[in-house]
């Protein structure tokens, strides 16, 4: 039995093609924002890091009502690093809006998210966004979208998709290709969603089965389970069973006391949710992602969620530097482990594992960006920790080691195409496509071992003065490619504890790039810069000028220090070598040697 009164649809696209902006426009077009309310751009990107980075990290839901039909909208991330969020979001919906930029066309993440939607048999409405761009090439982009569907072996029924042209930031749309008029609105898009996206299937009278796809927490209600009713009806006051991962234990049976649904941008208490609708349930502190809320009389679990495996891993450990404990509120291994356990409960694409030391935890994820977002979140919450350089996860295939392959698409000014090809060559990168554009920029596609692209983003940003755009995603496995180059210079390692001086740094800046300025606390084993030579250097950044009675013009010239290199979190974890760590506190990001004293480092090398 279908439920014609609502539709469930996910917005999927490459990064920055306008998903979140379109959601804003749909919320406005359907009257969600009252005339008295202050409008906030990208209202669905509520997480601080989402707004700062300009990307969507967490999948979120909202709802609008159009001509008597409720439309549940799920905004999904575009980065492959957050693919676990995309996969969970797609289990909630019956169709997708595929947004494609009218100038850029289908990009790596477009292929990635569309392949996930087609794997689940979801129909698509294609939205060509930003059709008012001066470099828009609408007809070519439509041809590229059809080619993408063919490349992904889409069924005929999926290839017969409706096409909408839109200018999301102005809330305008039209059926077909073209530029919507100034008096147009989103009516064509909303009508097409209702007509094209099928109503949820599922019998409201059948025994209850509801899949938990996400978790949240409330200060008053505790852990919240978010998901979709697959069949049956979820009612408050009735007894339900929670089918968990351990099939050997009986389901947990409990009376359902708190049930909510999505209404506009918030959640409201409801009495029931029928088959196909989305729900939020409280009262089950044991719930995990993939569990099934089922009929208490006959609890039948649904298949658990399957997501792509992690390809990178790194270690998280207790901060052991001499400056530890100054900034953070959470500094012990127990507190770090508890925080990572909470992350795993709500993030199906993160894995954690034990190591030889109880104070060090191995964390695996989809990519550098995902791991950096996790570390940054912990830092802002008051945690102190130290992390290692990311390593790729190796698979054995036919008795031979295989490593993950990444496909990168780089958008650079024409004059920097040579920079990209020269940087990719020593990293075992192979150029697969060069597509010059009409705007003085070129799209370069390449494949390389995932190891080879660690640090590649920062190298490109430096070489192109911040004008390059790079997007990566996992593209399979390949035999181990052998040793790959890392950074050019060795580390400048402080040989004592103290405070850096301008006099010392003035001499040291002639021998490499500095990471610190004067009046910075340093300690033995802390890395204060990158040397111009490949060998590590022991240096004294605390040296002061000798006071004498002799004064000459040449010796008393003012010290002129170059601005230090800004070691952001992403840059630091890409830059370090295997024997180095990044120290992270709420107020500082430092780079250090794993073993702080020179004698200990020499002893370890001999072992």
Mean pLDDT of 105-122: 82
Instruction: Clarify whether residues 166 and 290 are in a common domain.
Output: no
500 DSSP assignment: -
Number of domains in the chain: 3
Residue 221 placed within a domain: yes
Q: Which of 439, 456, 479 is a domain's end point?
A: 479
Q: Given 196, 222, 257, which residue is the final one in a domain?
A: 196
Residues 150 and 243 in one domain: no
Q: Based on the domain organization, do 169 and 216 belong to the same domain?
A: no
Mean pLDDT for the stretch of residues 414-430? 88
Q: Identify whether residues 119 and 220 lie together within a single domain.
A: no
Indicate whether 147 and 228 sit together in one domain: no
Q: How confident is the model at residue 179 (pLDDT cuts 50, 70, 90)?
A: very high
Position 355 in a domain:
no
In a domain, 407, yes or no: yes
Co-location of 80 and 184 in the same domain: yes
Looking at the fold, whether 121 and 246 belong to one and the same domain comes out as no
Report the range of poorest mean pLDDT among 170-184, 225-239, 444-458. Answer: 444-458
What does DSSP assign to residue 176? S
- CATH number of the domain encompassing residue 240: 2.40.30.10
Q: How many helices (H) and strands (E) does the chain have?
A: 14, 35
Q: Where does residue 523 fall: left (phi above 0), alpha (psi -120 to 50 degrees), or beta otherwise?
A: beta
Q: Domain boundary at 175, 196, 217, which?
A: 196
Regarding whether 142 and 31 lie in a shared domain, the answer is yes
CATH number at residue 106: 3.40.50.300
Q: pLDDT tens, 567-607?
A: 888 889 888 988 999 999 999 999 999 999 999 998 988 87
Domain span at residue 280?
A: 209-295
Q: What is the pLDDT of residue 42?
A: 39
Asked whether residue 527 is domain-assigned, the answer is no
Q: Does 561 reside within a domain?
A: no
In this predicted structure, what is the pLDDT of residue 487? Answer: 78
pTM of the complete model: 0.71
- Write out pLDDT tens, residues 327-382: 889 999 999 999 998 888 767 678 899 888 889 999 998 777 778 889 988 999 99
- Residues 12 and 40 placed together within one structural domain of the fold: yes
SS3 369: helix
3-state secondary structure of 560: coil
Q: Are residues 65 and 132 in the same domain?
A: yes
Residues in the chain: 607
Question: Would you state the structure tokens that stand for residue 505, as one six-digit string?
Answer: 């740094």
131 contacts 102 by C-beta, under 8 angstroms: yes
Q: Is residue 157 part of a domain?
A: yes
- Residue with the bigger pLDDT between 39 and 253: it is 253
What pLDDT, on a 0 to 100 scale, did the predictor assign at position 407?
Answer: 84
- Asked, for residue 27, whether it belongs to a domain, the answer is yes
Cα angle 425-426-432, degrees, rounded to a multiple of 5: 25
Give the pairing type, strands 222-231 and 209-218: antiparallel
pLDDT value of position 15 = 67
Residue 108 and residue 69 share a domain: yes
What are the strands, taking DSSP E only, across 110-218?
A: 124-129, 163-167, 172-175, 209-218
Identify the band that residue 549 occupies on the pLDDT scale cut at 50, 70 and 90.
low
Residue 258: per-residue pLDDT: 86
CATH of the domain at 475: 3.30.70.240
Same domain, 167 and 223: no
């Amino acid at each position: 039995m279908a439920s014609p009164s609502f539709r469930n649809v996910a917005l999927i696209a490459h990064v920055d093609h306008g998903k979140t902006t379109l959601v804003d426009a749909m919320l406005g077009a359907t009257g969600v924002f009252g005339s008295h309310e202050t409008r906030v751009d990208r209202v669905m990107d509520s997480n601080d890091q989402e707004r700062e980075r300009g990307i969507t990290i967490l999948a979120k839901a909202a709802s609008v009502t159009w001509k008597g039909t409720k439309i549940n909208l799920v905004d999904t991330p575009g980065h492959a690093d957050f693919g676990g969020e995309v996969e969970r979001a797609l289990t909630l919906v019956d169709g997708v809006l595929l947004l494609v930029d009218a100038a850029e066309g289908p990009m790596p993440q477009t292929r990635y998210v569309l392949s996930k939607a087609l794997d689940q048999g979801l129909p698509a409405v294609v939205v060509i966004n930003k059709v008012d761009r001066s470099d828009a090439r609408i007809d070519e982009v439509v041809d590229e979208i059809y080619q993408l569907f063919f490349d992904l072996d889409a069924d005929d029924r999926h290839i017969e998709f409706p096409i909408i042209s839109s200018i999301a930031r102005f809330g305008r749309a039209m059926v077909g290709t073209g530029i919507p008029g100034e008096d147009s609105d989103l009516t064509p898009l909303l009508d097409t969603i209702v007509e094209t996206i099928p109503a949820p299937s599922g019998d409201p009278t059948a025994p209850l089965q509801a899949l938990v796809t996400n978790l949240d927490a409330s200060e008053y209600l505790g852990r919240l389970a978010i998901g979709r009713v697959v069949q049956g009806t979820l009612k408050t006051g009735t007894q339900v069973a929670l089918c968990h991962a351990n099939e050997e234990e009986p389901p947990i049976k409990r009376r359902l006391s708190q049930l909510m649904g999505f209404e506009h941008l918030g959640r409201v208490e409801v009495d029931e949710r029928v088959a196909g609708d989305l729900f939020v349930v409280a009262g089950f502190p044991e719930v995990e992602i993939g569990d099934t809320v089922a009929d208490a009389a006959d609890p039948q679990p649904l298949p658990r969620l399957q997501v792509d495996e992690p390809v990178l891993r790194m270690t998280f450990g207790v901060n052991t530097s001499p400056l530890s404990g100054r900034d953070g509120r959470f500094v012990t291994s127990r507190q770090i482990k508890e925080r990572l356990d909470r992350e795993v409960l709500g993030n199906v694409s993160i894995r954690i594992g034990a190591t030889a030391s109880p104070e060090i935890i191995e964390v695996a994820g989809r990519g550098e960006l995902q791991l950096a977002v996790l570390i940054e979140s912990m830092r802002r919450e008051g945690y102190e920790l130290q992390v290692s350089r990311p390593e790729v996860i190796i698979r054995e295939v036919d008795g031979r080691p295989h490593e993950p392959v990444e496909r990168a698409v780089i958008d650079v000014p024409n004059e920097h195409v040579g920079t990209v090809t020269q940087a990719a060559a020593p990293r075992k990168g192979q150029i697969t496509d060069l597509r010059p554009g009409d705007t003085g920029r070129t799209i370069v596609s390449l494949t390389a071992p995932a190891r080879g692209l660690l640090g590649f983003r920062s190298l490109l940003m430096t070489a192109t003065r911040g004008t390059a755009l790079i997007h990566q995603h996992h593209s399979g496995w390949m035999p181990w490619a052998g040793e790959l180059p890392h950074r050019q210079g060795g580390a400048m390692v402080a040989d004592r504890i103290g405070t850096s001086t301008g006099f010392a740094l003035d001499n040291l800046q002639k021998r490499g790039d500095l990471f610190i300025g004067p009046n910075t606390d340093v300690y033995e084993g802390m890395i204060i810069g990158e040397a111009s030579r490949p060998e590590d250097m022991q240096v004294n950044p605390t040296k002061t000028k000798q006071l004498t009675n002799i004064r000459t013009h040449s010796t008393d010239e003012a010290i002129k220090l170059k601005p230090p290199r800004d070691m952001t979190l992403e840059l630091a974890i890409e830059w370090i070598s295997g024997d180095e760590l990044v120290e992270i506190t709420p107020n500082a990001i430092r780079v250090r040697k794993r073993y702080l004293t020179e004698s200990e480092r020499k002893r370890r090398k001999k072992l």
